[in-house]
């Protein structure tokens, strides 16, 4: 299944994509694509529904983040060896973990806002993993049993704040709109192998990133197991698993960063596409 959340920001409704690519309204069936609704029993019940009996959402409905009530966004840094190289950082011996604030979540086609004072805003197409069952000290062999499905994450980053402002990556990762999520949460049964997915990203039609999840240093099962030994993972938590090479920071002979008015388009095989326009912040910080 391809689950979505549609409607105005802050009041999204649950939905499912039918075989014709139309969004069907699930609000009469479950309250949200969140929490217990992501468990195996719930997904099995949804899979048995005759989608033709569900009302259609408006054709022009906005898509919100494909998961609601996200408790935490755990990210894996430098998880592709060639990306570590372009970042001038060593290949890690263990997964590098950091967080994005949940307030950074936005819809897959919402504008990405360049914050006041930001000069080095960058892009990162990533495979997102959505937890469906609590994971605590799970083995690698059982890790995927705790996954509800997969989605696209654009791990938008302000590199100066990430790298040059005291060593806390979270500061460069957590601005509002810096975590577009979706368009769909694709349930695990539809993705035969999460380590065989092509992924790409373009800015204004120029292809910058082209990769495949098979080149991850730490695969999805390893990452889920590893994180679960440091913190419990709850239904609805999102893991962003790292990005292949081609980020703006790594461009030669000099880095390239997002400017207001540019458009990012990105995709992961089987998980759809996102598109965001970069816009300048309208916040007046003069008297903040």
Mean pLDDT, range 28-39, rounded to an integer: 97
Confidence of residue 287 (pLDDT cuts 50, 70, 90): low
Domain match, 15 and 102 both: no
User: What local confidence, expressed as pLDDT, does residue 82 receive?
Assistant: 79
Mean pLDDT, range 42-60, rounded to an integer: 96
Look up residue 159 and give its two tokens: 């590199």
Confidence of residue 86 (pLDDT cuts 50, 70, 90): confident
For 94-147, write each residue's pLDDT tens digit: 999 999 999 999 999 999 999 999 999 999 999 999 999 999 999 999 999 999
Q: Is residue 94 part of a domain?
A: yes
Q: Does pLDDT of 81 surpass 90?
A: no
Confidence of residue 166 (pLDDT cuts 50, 70, 90): confident
Domain match, 165 and 33 both: no
pTM score, two decimals? 0.96
Confidence of residue 288 (pLDDT cuts 50, 70, 90): low
Domain match, 207 and 268 both: yes
CATH code at position 272: 3.90.850.10
Domain match, 166 and 110 both: yes
CA dist., res. 150 & res. 135, Å (int) = 16
Mean pLDDT, range 18-47, rounded to an integer: 97
Domain match, 267 and 197 both: yes
Domain match, 212 and 86 both: yes
Q: Is residue 60 part of a domain?
A: no
- SS3 state of residue 100: strand
Domain match, 272 and 178 both: yes
Mean pLDDT, range 237-245, rounded to an integer: 97
Q: Out of 163-167, 179-183, 215-219, 272-276, which region has the weakest mean confidence (pLDDT)? A: 163-167
For 183-221, write each residue's pLDDT tens digit: 999 999 999 999 999 999 999 999 999 999 999 999 999
* Residue 13 half-sphere exposure toward CB, CA atoms < 13 A: 16
Domain match, 34 and 176 both: no
User: What local confidence, expressed as pLDDT, does residue 153 receive?
Assistant: 98
Q: Is residue 37 part of a domain?
A: yes
Mean pLDDT, range 239-243, rounded to an integer: 97
Q: Is residue 59 part of a domain?
A: no
Q: Is the peptide bond before 183 cis (omega within 30 degrees of 0)?
A: yes
Domain match, 128 and 223 both: yes
Average pLDDT, the chain: 96
Could you tell me the residue range of the domain that residue 22 belongs to? 2-53
Q: Is residue 62 part of a domain?
A: no
Domain match, 167 and 199 both: yes
Domain match, 254 and 196 both: yes
> Which residues face 268 on adjacent strands?
199, 272
- SS3 state of residue 148: strand
Query: Count of domains in the chain?
Result: 2
Q: Is residue 64 part of a domain?
A: no
Sheet holding 238-240, edge to edge: 23-25, 13-17, 2-6, 185-187, 147-154, 125-131, 238-240, 73-77, 96-100
User: What local confidence, expressed as pLDDT, does residue 286 receive?
Assistant: 67
User: What local confidence, expressed as pLDDT, does residue 90 receive?
Assistant: 84
Q: Is residue 152 part of a domain?
A: yes
Q: Is residue 61 part of a domain?
A: no
Domain match, 114 and 13 both: no
């Amino acid at each position: 299944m391809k689950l979505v959340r549609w409607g105005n920001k802050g009041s999204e409704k649950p939905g499912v994509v039918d075989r014709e690519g139309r969004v069907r309204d699930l609000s009469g069936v479950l309250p949200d694509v969140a929490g217990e609704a992501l468990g195996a029993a719930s997904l099995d019940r949804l899979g048995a529904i005759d989608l033709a009996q569900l009302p259609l959402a408006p054709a022009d409905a906005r898509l919100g983040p494909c998961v609601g009530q996200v408790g935490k966004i755990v990210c894996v840094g430098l998880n592709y060896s060639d990306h570590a190289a372009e970042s001038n950082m060593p290949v890690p011996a263990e997964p590098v973990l950091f967080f994005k604030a949940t307030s950074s979540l936005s819809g897959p086609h919402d504008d990405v806002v360049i914050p006041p004072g930001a000069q080095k805003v960058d892009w990162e197409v990533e495979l997102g993993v959505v937890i469906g069952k609590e994971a605590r000290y799970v083995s690698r062999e059982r890790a995927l049993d705790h996954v509800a499905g997969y989605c696209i994450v654009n791990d938008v980053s302000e590199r100066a704040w990430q790298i040059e402002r005291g060593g806390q990556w979270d500061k460069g990762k957590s601005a509002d709109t810096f975590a577009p999520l979706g368009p769909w949460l694709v349930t695990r049964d539809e993705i035969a192998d999460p380590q065989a997915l092509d992924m790409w990203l373009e800015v204004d039609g120029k292809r910058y990133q082209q990769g495949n999840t098979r080149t991850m240093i730490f695969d999805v099962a390893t990452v889920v197991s590893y994180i679960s030994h440091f913190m419990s993972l709850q239904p609805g938590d999102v893991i962003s698993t790292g990005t292949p090479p081609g980020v703006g920071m790594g461009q030669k002979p000099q880095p390239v960063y997002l400017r207001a008015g540019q458009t990012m388009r990105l995709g992961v095989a089987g998980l759809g596409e996102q598109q965001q326009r970069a816009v300048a912040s309208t916040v007046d910080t003069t008297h903040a």
